[in-house]
Structure 1
Amino acid sequence: YFNRHFKEPCSCVSDSMTEDAAVFGGQKNMIDGLENAKAIYKPDMIAVSTTCMAEVIGDDLNAFINNTKKAGNIPQEYPVPYAHTPSFVGSHTTGWDNMEEGILRYFTLNNMEGKKVGSNGKINIVPGFETYLGNYRVIKRMLGEMDVDYTMLSDPSEVFDTPADGEFRMYSGGTTMDEVKDAPNGITTLLLQPSQLEKTKKFVENTWNHDIPKLNIPMGVEWTDEFLMKVSEVTGKPIPASLELERGRCMDLVSDSHAWLHGKKFAIYGDPDFVMGVVKILLEVGAEPTHILAHNGNKRWAKSIEKLLASSPFGVNGKVYAGNDLWHMRSLCFTDKPDFLIGNSYGKYIQRDTRHKGEEFEVPLIRLGFPIFDRHHMHRATTLGYEGMMSVVTQLTNAVLEQLDKETIGMGTTDYNFDLVR
């Protein structure tokens, strides 16, 4: 998945459990695998997660790792954080949350002595399952302009965007182990995608004693405002003029383009926080989110979306579907046709199926979210902050104009509105 989405190598190893391991457990494979991975790839740490078979037979990761160290295959002090991430529980965001919490727990749970909230003067940023590399950079840029010290938990932006200069960088950039160990000393921890980080949130609140502010994903103008104001509040650093100018450019872009988006009906699907952010952007430009679906959304998320829809006259006709899949979205596109569909690459099959009924029934797909396999370099884009708002509105507006050109290209039939200037 990651290789296809990022068009970059995603390095991981498997202990490759065989038939005997399915019966007797995978400890032998784990012992050999940890030793080999350390010797061949020379990482500073190895993080271990599970899949179906290991969870079905109930493998004890903690015991396996300790036995590997007792056997001398890896040093006692060598860090091996782990998490149980069964494929049949939750979704990819559940597994990510489990692994995030597992790493934070491993490095900090038994090392809280001497830790004091706020003593390092930093804030912690947890992006969540974030696959837009531009989002890491825009958050870091905005915090840099505010002169705010921070720790990203975590930051794969350099790993999935390494340069082609003849040098292979398996461990480019990222967050260091020392930074993770120091994170409990932060002023606070900000969760950028809170609905997918419940386990991490609980650990940070209960173990680090951080008072986590209630924030929405910083998408759209208002929620970016709230994010920056909260950062300013907890750090005492003012919002600089450069960000105010950027906000002004964003508002100028919206005023230029909102007429083309006003009243257009959009169906949206994807991960819960991202979908909520897209809905927020649509409401801010006067578009109408009609079908909002997240297969891994829960009832609490659905209520949050419904509250957001009720806050705007453009959201009164929106309907929320938590726990439904793309087959359900396909049916909605036939029975209550939107003007556009927003989501990942899998939506192209809905576009194909609706078009098969007739061109007038086609629902064009606007590719936003994860995964995007059939277009290149979209993972470098930005959806967060004012920069992300400008990027998303540009993509939406140009999709509307492209569709308008397509509908008015008929020579002598529909080209009366085939205008050069839009």
Structure 2
Amino acid sequence: MPQNPDKIQDHVELFHQPEYKQLFQNKKEFENGHDPAEVERVAEWTKSWDYREKNFAREALTVNPAKGCQPLGAMFAAVGFEGTLPFVQGSQGCVAYFRTHLTRHYKEPFSGVSSSMTEDAAVFGGLQNMIDGLANSYTLYKPKMIAVCTTCMAEVIGDDLQAFITNAKNAGSVPQDFPVPYAHTPSFVGSHITGYDNMMKGILSTLTAGKKKSTSNGKINFISGFDTYVGNLREVKRIASLFGIDYTILSDNSDYLDAPNTGEFDMYPGGTKLEDAADAINAKATVVLQAHSTPKTREYIAKEWKQDVVVSRPWGIKATDEFLVKLSELTGKPIPEELEIERGRAVDAMTDSHAWVHGKRFAIYGDPDLVYSVVGFMLELGAEPVHILVHNSNEVFEKELQALLDSSPFGKEAKIWAGKDLWHLRSLMRLLSG
């Protein structure tokens, strides 16, 4: 089909062009497609209770899961540290998917490399791929740290990352003292939040090894969890600055994922300084802004760093109040007046919008911490959740969320759909709208 390079169409508009409409029509005829009346009949049937029951009875098929793979979360955590290059022990196709997904979402270049494992590595193991890959990555891209995670292929054949990295260093791929944290992140279990947790623990345990001191540095560590909105990190920094808190953000990817356009390319913009991350072991406490994307990391910090670990999710009035009170308790500093004034404005805005939100019924899907926080905020506004779908759920989260729903008269009709996908949500929404 001829294309005019001066009139390149977005993919949404492209497939509405006459030549594509004709192409799709020809495709239906070639494939002996059903006539429009039959298509319409089946489409209507999918809105029925009968179809809903069949949809929810399936066990061996997932349609459009509301989650990503572990390596996605691992790479997301890695780029929050200064000069860090994510390295995926697996095939090129896997890392290309993760890079594309994050690049398209943020409209920013997201760097990442793979060990380019192929059929030979699947049979004989990926050690040589690791040796060559680390050497090439270190030489070509000059990172300050390389964070290694795995894909399904490496996990199925049983690649031992710790042994492989040691062998690669002995082979001279990177200097012996060069930090190469790692995390095993099989995509066939868990989700992107599991990968985030595994990589955070791997990076922190590597950077802080042997750095424990007898006295505290007096700082407060913050860990955001798998939070894709970088504005939240910037707000945490602003709040900490208003308090006058000396702090360290562990995995600060706000500049990496939202870099200023200065006209010059920077492969590793921003990020937590490696020396600051290494000294995080000596902080006074660690405040974690998500619970279910950080369980292993929180357990590690509490056990190995001997540090107070606080989970606080500052969404809505009540949760933000608790966050600010906890910061005041940890630091001995009063809550800044500026924040009290902002709280008043937020309450005023909620009051002003009350008539448009109160009593409105809604469905929601997403990660456990995000769903918990948004539902809590919506309950404060008087909105009524009906369907709450969390594919990467767990029993602890479900009990926590149910307790939140039970605490409000607006949560009595809500149903939690754990482990379900977006095709399940389609059936729920069809019947809800009907």
TM-score by length of 2: 0.75
Which of the pair has more CA radius of gyration? 2
Asked if 1 retains the 8 angstrom alpha-carbon contact of 2:194 and 2:293, the reply is yes
Work out which of the residue numbers 213, 216, 224 in structure 2 matches 1:127: 224
Q: Contact conserved, 2:185 with 2:198, CA < 8 A, in 1?
A: yes
Are 1:224 and 2:324 counterparts? no
Paired residue for 2:336?
A: 240
2:194 corresponds to which residue? 94
Matches within 5 A, 1:396-411: none
2:308 to 192, 199, 211: 211
Which residue does 1:328 correspond to in 2? 424
Inter-partner Cα distance in structure 2 for 1:168 and 1:124: 30
How far off its partner does 1:113 sit? 4.3
Q: Report the AA paired with residue 150 of structure 2.
A: T
The answer as to whether partners of 2:197 and 2:293 remain within 8 angstroms in 1 is: yes
Match of 1:282 in 2: 378
Where do 4+ consecutive residues of structure 1 move more than 3 Å?
Answer: none
Equivalent in the alignment of 2:89:
none
Answer yes or no: is the 8 Å Cα contact 2:213–2:282 preserved in 1. Answer: no
Question: Structure 1 residues 113, 96: closer, same or farther in 2, change over 3 A?
Answer: closer
Letter in 1 for 2:178: Y
Q: How does 1:105-116 map to 2 (within 5 A)?
A: 105-108=205-208, 110-116=209-215
Matched, 1:18 2:118: yes
Query: How far, CA to CA, are the matches of 2:317 and 2:250 in structure 1?
Result: 24
Q: Give the secondary structure class of the aligned counterpart of 1:224.
A: helix
Confirm whether residue 32 of structure 1 aligns to residue 154 of structure 2. no
User: Which of 1 and 2 has higher RCO (CA within 8 Å, sep 6+)?
Assistant: 2
Aligned counterparts of 2:145 and 2:195: Cα–Cα separation in 1: 19
Question: CA separation of 1:115/1:8 partners in 2, compared to 1, >3 Å: closer, same or farther?
Answer: farther
Whether the 8 Å contact between 1:302 and 1:321 is mirrored in structure 2 is: no
Query: Whole-Å Cα distance in 2 between the matches of residues 113 and 318 of structure 1?
Result: 47
CA distance in 2, matches of 1:212, 1:163: 33
Matched with 1:82 is 182
Among candidates 90, 104, 128, match of residue 4 of structure 1: 104
Segments of 5+ residues of structure 1 without an aligned counterpart are: 338-360, 362-422
Corresponding residue for residue 393 of structure 2: 297
- 2:151 aligned residue: 51
In the TM superposition, what is the alpha-carbon distance from 1:165 to its structure 2 partner?
A: 2.0
Q: Tell me how far apart the structure 1 counterparts of residues 142 and 364 of structure 2 sit (CA, whole Å).
A: 43
Matches within 5 A, 1:132-171: 132-171=229-268
Q: CA deviation at 1:72?
A: 1.4
Q: Cα RMSD (Å) of the superposition?
A: 1.1
**Contact 2:212/2:282 (CA < 8 Å) preserved in 1?**
no
| Alpha-carbon distance in structure 2 between the residues aligned to 1:268 and 1:156 | 26
Shift of 1:115: 4.6
Q: Is the CA contact 1:115–1:184 (under 8 Å) kept in the aligned structure 2?
A: no
Q: Give the structure 2 partner of residue 268 of structure 1.
A: 364
Q: 2:290 aligns with which of 183, 193, 196?
A: 193
Kept in 2: contact 1:122–1:186 (CA 8 A) = yes
**Corresponding residue for residue 253 of structure 1:** 349
CA distance in 1, matches of 2:343, 2:248: 25
- SS at 1:46 equivalent: strand
Q: Distance in 1 between matches of 2:231 and 2:255?
A: 11
Aligned residues: 334
1:114 CA displacement: 2.4
- Unaligned stretches of 5+ in structure 2? 1-100
Q: Is the 8 A contact 1:299 1:322 kept in 2?
A: no
